[in-house]
Amino acid sequence: MKKYLPLAAAILALGLNGSPAIADVAKSQAAAHNTYAAKGEIVAVDATNAKVKLKHEAVPELQWPGMTMDFAVADKAQLKGLKAGDKVAFRFALVGGQARITEIQRLK
């Protein structure tokens, strides 16, 4: 219920019953929870700070080219057993403008 309060407040405040603007607000809230899939190679693991540096393939949904970048990891336990040079598949979300891995697994 609480997650709908901001949307309800916007509807009441703006008097936009059923307008396309409401759909845009709902769409942007849903986009905040999207995750994206990619594959890459681990460059470095920083388990202490729950981070991993990956050289990853392009992410077309975000118009990102392949690049090397640091990712925060939602659960640092996911990094256990991973090391530089491992090929991985992973899912990540953009949280506050930062990429955060939600799932990661070594590829065989």
* Greater pLDDT, 33 or 99: 99
* Predicted confidence (pLDDT) at residue 83 exceeds the cutoff of 90: yes
Task: Convert the pLDDT of each residue in 4-61 to its tens digit.
Answer: 555 555 554 555 444 455 444 444 444 445 899 999 999 999 999 999 999 999 999 9
pLDDT, residue 88, reads 98
CATH number, span 35-106: 2.40.50.320
Lowest mean pLDDT of 2-11, 40-49, 69-78, 80-89, name the range: 2-11
pLDDT, residue 97, reads 87
How do beta strands 87-95 and 98-106 pair?
antiparallel
The full set of domain ranges for the chain reads 2-31, 35-106
Q: Looking only at Cα atoms, what is the longest distance across the chain? A: 55
